[in-house]
Amino acid sequence: MALNVSGVVVRSATGEERALGDWAGKVLLIVNVASRCGFTRQYAGLQKLQDSYGPRGLAVLGFPCNDFGGQEPGTLEEIQSFCSTTYGANFELFDKVHATGSKTEPYLTLTQAEPAGDVAWNFEKFLVGRDGIVFGRFKSGVDPEAPELIAAIEAALTA
């Protein structure tokens, strides 16, 4: 059975609760992000994806997470400023989340997507189709500009 995440509720940067279904009709790339990680440079690639594919219906959604090595200690305002000034990133960032343990955020029910399992590190990517069904999952080492991720995004946009 396909995993539909439309009813999953997340907390925006302003503190309001929103269902992922609010983005119905969009392809979502959901990423747990951190500003002091070896993968932090991926912010630039994520912004390139937003710039390139946003007009076609892609929305990059970033969820700051401090669970892996304490690599996201800042406040949301500090994180937003860092992303903007360092990487020119202006895709939507949400309130900080937990990706591990008993406080794992509801959006991480995405971990049921293939390959199933817990989020292992920062910058893990979940691709959700326009219908709210998880389309693919990509580990941290998959760069935003990797051919397999680009191909998956293009396939999701044309599905």
Q: What pLDDT, in 10s, does the model give residues 7-29?
A: 888 888 888 999 988 999 999 99
pLDDT of the residue at 16: 92
Cα–Cα distance for residue pair 33/10, rounded to 1 Å: 15
CB-CB contact of 29 with 125 (8 Å): yes
83 classed as catalytic: no
pTM over cut 0.85: yes
pLDDT of the residue at 4: 78
- The domain limits of the chain are 9-158
Token pair 């959006």 is at which residue? 107
CATH 3.30.360.10 fits 9-158, yes or no: no
CA distances, 144 to each of 3, 19, 24, 95, 105 (Å): 23, 25, 22, 22, 23
pLDDT of the residue at 102: 60
Token pair 């910058």 is at which residue? 123
The conformational region for residue 40 under phi > 0 = left, psi -120 to 50 = alpha, else beta, is: alpha
CB-CB contact of 158 with 27 (8 Å): no
CB-CB contact of 150 with 139 (8 Å): no
The active-site residue out of 31, 33, 34, 37 is 37
CA distances, 102 to each of 30, 99, 106, 120 (Å): 20, 9, 11, 15
Length of the chain (residues): 159
pLDDT of the residue at 143: 97
* Positions of the chain with pLDDT under 50: none
Task: Indicate the burial class of 74 (C-beta count within 10 angstroms; 0-12, 13-18, 19 or more).
Answer: middle
Cα–Cα distance for residue pair 147/142, rounded to 1 Å: 9
